[in-house]
């Protein structure tokens, strides 16, 4: 190796920080695409091994642990960074691009971190950078959702940090590798990881915040946070029994909530939770096939989910509408046919239709569940698969591009709707190409997986079974098609537990607690005012106190005397402090000093 590679995290972070200094728009756009390209070449130059180790407070920081597992995630993150940047080329705000680059860079840092301190530092940058991709949407809902998002992530980060500190204190090493799930340290680390992986009940941040992000920013959001969490789980906790169940529950949970969702990007967000469920279950099963499956599924998922979010984003971008109730029955397929086709490729991929990418990766996880004889997990994952096909290929397609106008608005088409700008279409085209390419030629993906692959997705049995499963789900959909339109409702999720009680807590502080404070304050306000008036002129304090005592001791009936005292009292109080009145002349001070020095000198010299 003649050229030394540099940490890919720094390429993105430095690129992001330099971007605002470019003044010509075209140059900026070229630069945006150049950064992921350089990072990709950098990855190709990085052989496996350990790079960039630094000594810090007696520990060894490792910025580059390069093996097949980290490279697999590194590749897909760089690819999606490139595609996402094409999709975002038309955005003029530098801030959004800077946030995206910092976000991508910190995720690359997490992937290649070999120790806990580096991991934690990049983990936190990831949370802070990503929240700006939500806030840049700039409406009230986005601001609120962003605050909830960042608070959950800060909580997760605190769990992780606490876990790391306990773990390092116990083991004395900060090296990040397989972690034994014993003791509070490892459990807190696991909790930190699964909060980022959006495992229920800690998943609501995702379905809450991702639909509120900017159109281009949400594409990045879908790719990095949850998948980097899958990566760290693969690294730290393979074969952890509890993850199998969490993953299987997650897969079904996401689908159930997606079925009743009306907002198109929120529906897609619930499917992130569902799909990450397969990966988490794969990590939990922990066999070679399952781990490969989790990594492969993360790889494919990033591509097709970005494609789905890009096409949903394109619809929102040109129509300004985000709900199926506002889109169905408007025949959008006539105005956006290319977007529809690209969307369908994404939908087929996530539904694991043969020849599309999901089929070659999702089946690895289900096959691993079957191999280890986990019947219930196998059935749950299959059920989630049906639900995914139902929601994305059938319901969302119908509700966005076709469908019946259930509310009878009489609107036949959406005015001004047309295909999305060229850069968006190119980005979606690239992602769609990758989905089909991996589906048709899975060896290219299997080649970069962490372990050697001995799995054949395209057996007659697999293909026939998958087609039966999907087409009969479609048949069920067809029967009930008229009852399945969107509803103008929102669905409560576990974010309720911090949104409503949080608000109650706030109003408890504002009303009863605040009233108590003002009561207590009122109780002593007279005395406070008296002390304040006293302190205005210290020299009159004794006489004011004396007169006040006199006033108190005089009986209430003796009006004349009371009147006399209070006149005197008011007069005393009104005397302002005069700093010159009690000042002695400078001559006395000098004389005092000389006297002191004389006495001091006498004592010092003669005694």
Which residues make up the interface to other proteins (CB under 8 A)?
A: 255-257, 259-260, 370-371, 373, 375, 378, 382-383, 386-387, 390, 460-461, 464-477, 480, 484, 487-493, 499
Instruction: Give residues with Cβ within 8 angstroms of 536, minimum separation 6.
Output: 573, 576, 577
- How many Cα atoms sit within 13 Å of 137 on the Cβ side? 26
Query: Which CB sits closer to other proteins, 380 or 438?
Result: 380
Which is closer to other proteins, CB of 25 or CB of 489? 489
- How many C-beta atoms surround the C-beta of residue 29 within 10 A? 18
CA distance 462 to 202: 34
Please state the closest distance from residue 465 (CB atom) to other proteins, in A: 4
The residue (of 89 and 377) whose beta carbon lies closer to other proteins is: 377
Residue placing its CB nearer to other proteins in the complex, 467 or 567: 467
Rg (C-alpha) for the chain, rounded Å, is: 34
* Eight-class DSSP state of 540: G
Nearer to other proteins, 487 or 561 (CB): 487
Q: How far is the CB of 403 from other proteins (least distance, A)?
A: 13
- Shortest gap between Cβ of 204 and other proteins (angstroms)? 12
How many angstroms from the chain centroid is the CA of residue 342? 27
Provide, rounded to whole angstroms, the least separation between the CB of residue 501 and other proteins: 13
Strands 59-66 and 49-56: antiparallel
CA-to-CA distance for 163 and 184, rounded, in angstroms?
7
Structure tokens at 334: 């006539």
Nearer to other proteins, 241 or 371 (CB): 371
Give whichever of 84 and 486 is closer to other proteins, judged by the CB atom.
Answer: 486
**Nearest by Cα to 276 from 345, 236, 243, 230:** 230
For the bound state, the minimum distance from the C-beta of residue 142 to other proteins, rounded and expressed in Å, comes to 14
Nearest approach in angstroms of CB 375 to other proteins is 6
The full DSSP string for 188-202 is: HHHHHHHHHTT-TTS
Closer to other proteins by Cβ: residue 92 or 483: 483
What's the sign of the alpha-carbon dihedral 81, 87, 92, 96? negative
CB of 368 to other proteins, least distance (A): 11
**With b meaning 16 or more CB within 10 Å and e meaning fewer, what string describes 531-562?**
eeeeeebeebeeebeebbeeeeebeeeeeeee
Decide whether 73 or 278 has the Cβ nearer to other proteins.
278
Q: How far is the CB of 177 from other proteins (least distance, A)?
A: 32
| Closer of 164 and 466 to other proteins (Cβ) | 466
Residue 318 CB, shortest distance to other proteins, in Å, is 23
Least distance from other proteins to the Cβ atom of residue 478, Å: 8
| Residues 119 and 78: beta-carbon distance below 8 Å | no
**C-beta closer to other proteins: residue 454 or 527:** 454
Rank residues 472 and 602 by Cβ distance to other proteins and give the closer one. Answer: 472
Residue 329 Cβ vs other proteins, minimum distance, rounded to whole Å? 15
Instruction: Establish whether the linkage from the previous residue to 287 is cis, with ω within 30° of 0.
Output: no
Question: Do residues 390 and 261 touch, judged by C-beta distance below 8 A?
Answer: no
- Determine the Cα angle at 385 with ends 384 and 387, to 5°: 65
State how far the alpha carbon of 119 is from the alpha carbons of 1, 63, 125, 146, 196, in Å: 27, 9, 10, 23, 13
Cα–Cα distance between 468 and 196 in angstroms, integer? Answer: 35
Q: How far is the CB of 351 from other proteins (least distance, A)?
A: 12
Comparing CB distances to other proteins, the nearer of 22 and 256 is 256
Secondary structure of 398-466 as H, E, C letters: HHHHCCCCCCCCCCCCCCCCCCCCHHHHHHHHHHHHHHHHHHHCCHHHHCCCCCCCCCCCCCHHHHHHH
CB 185 within 8 A of CB 172: no
CB 481 → other proteins: shortest distance, Å?
A: 11
User: Could you tell me which residues come within 8 angstroms of residue 431 by beta carbon, excluding any fewer than 6 positions away?
Assistant: 80, 83, 303, 304, 306, 307, 310, 342, 346
């Amino acid at each position: 190796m003649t050229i030394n590679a540099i940490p890919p995290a720094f390429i993105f972070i430095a690129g992001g920080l330099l971007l605002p200094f470019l003044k010509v728009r075209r140059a900026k756009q070229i630069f945006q695409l150049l950064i992921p390209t350089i990072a990709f070449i950098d990855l190709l130059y990085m052989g496996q091994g350990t790079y960039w180790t630094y000594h810090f407070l007696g520990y060894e920081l490792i910025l580059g642990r390069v093996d097949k597992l980290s490279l697999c995630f590194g590749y897909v993150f760089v690819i999606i960074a490139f595609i996402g940047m094409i999709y975002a080329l038309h955005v003029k705000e530098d801030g959004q691009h800077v946030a995206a680059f910092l976000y991508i860079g910190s995720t690359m840092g997490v992937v290649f971190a070999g120790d806990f301190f580096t991991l934690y530092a990049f983990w936190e940058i990831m949370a802070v950078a990503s929240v700006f991709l939500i806030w840049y949407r700039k409406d009230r809902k986005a601001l609120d959702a962003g605050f909830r998002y960042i608070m959950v992530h800060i909580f997760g980060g605190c769990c992780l940090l606490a876990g790391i500190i306990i773990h390092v204190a116990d083991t004395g090493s900060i090296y990040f590798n397989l972690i034994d799930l014993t003791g509070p340290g490892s459990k807190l680390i696991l909790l930190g990881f699964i909060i980022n992986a959006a495992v229920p009940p800690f998943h609501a941040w995702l379905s809450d915040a991702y639909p509120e992000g900017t159109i281009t920013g949400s594409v990045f959001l879908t790719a990095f946070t949850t998948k980097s969490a899958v990566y760290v789980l693969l690294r730290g906790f393979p074969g952890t029994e509890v993850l199998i169940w969490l993953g299987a529950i997650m897969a079904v949970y996401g689908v159930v909530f997606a079925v009743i969702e009306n907002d198109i990007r929120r529906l897609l967000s619930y499917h992130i939770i569902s799909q990450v469920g397969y990966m988490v279950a794969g990590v939990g099963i922990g066999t070679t096939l399952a781990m490969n499956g989790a990594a492969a599924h993360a790889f494919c998922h990033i591509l097709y989910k970005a494609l789905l979010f890009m096409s949903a984003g394109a619809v929102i971008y040109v129509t300004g509408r985000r709900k199926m109730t506002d889109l169905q029955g408007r025949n959008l397929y006539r105005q956006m046919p290319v977007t529809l086709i690209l969307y369908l490729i994404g939908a087929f991929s996530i539904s694991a239709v043969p020849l599309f990418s999901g089929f070659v990766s999702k089946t690895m996880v289900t096959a691993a569940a079957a191999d280890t004889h986990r019947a219930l997990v196998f059935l749950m994952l299959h059920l989630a698969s049906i639900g995914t096909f139902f929601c994305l290929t059938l319901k969302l397609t119908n509700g966005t591009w076709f469908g019946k106008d259930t509310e009878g608005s009489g609107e036949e088409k959406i005015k001004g709707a047309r295909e999305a700008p060229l850069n968006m279409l190119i980005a979606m085209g690239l992602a769609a190409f990758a989905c089909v390419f991996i589906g048709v030629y899975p060896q290219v993906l299997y080649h970069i997986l962490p372990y050697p692959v001995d799995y054949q997705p395209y057996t007659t049995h697999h293909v026939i079974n998958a087609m039966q499963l999907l087409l009969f789900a479609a048949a069920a959909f067809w029967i009930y098609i008229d009852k399945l339109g969107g509803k103008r409702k929102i669905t409560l999720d576990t974010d309720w537990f911090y949104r409503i009680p949080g608000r109650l807590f706030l109003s408890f502080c504002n009303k009863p607690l605040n009233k108590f404070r003002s009561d207590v304050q009122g109780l002593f306000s007279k005395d406070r005012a008296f002390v304040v008036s006293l302190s205005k002129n210290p020299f009159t304090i004794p006489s004011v106190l004396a007169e006040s005592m006199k006033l108190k001791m005089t009986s209430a009936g003796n009006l004349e005397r009371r009147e006399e005292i209070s006149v005197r009292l008011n007069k005393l109080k009104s005397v302002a402090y005069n700093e010159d009145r009690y000042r002695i002349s400078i001559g006395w001070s000098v004389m005092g000093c000389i006297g002191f020095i004389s006495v001091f000198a006498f004592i010092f010299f003669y005694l």
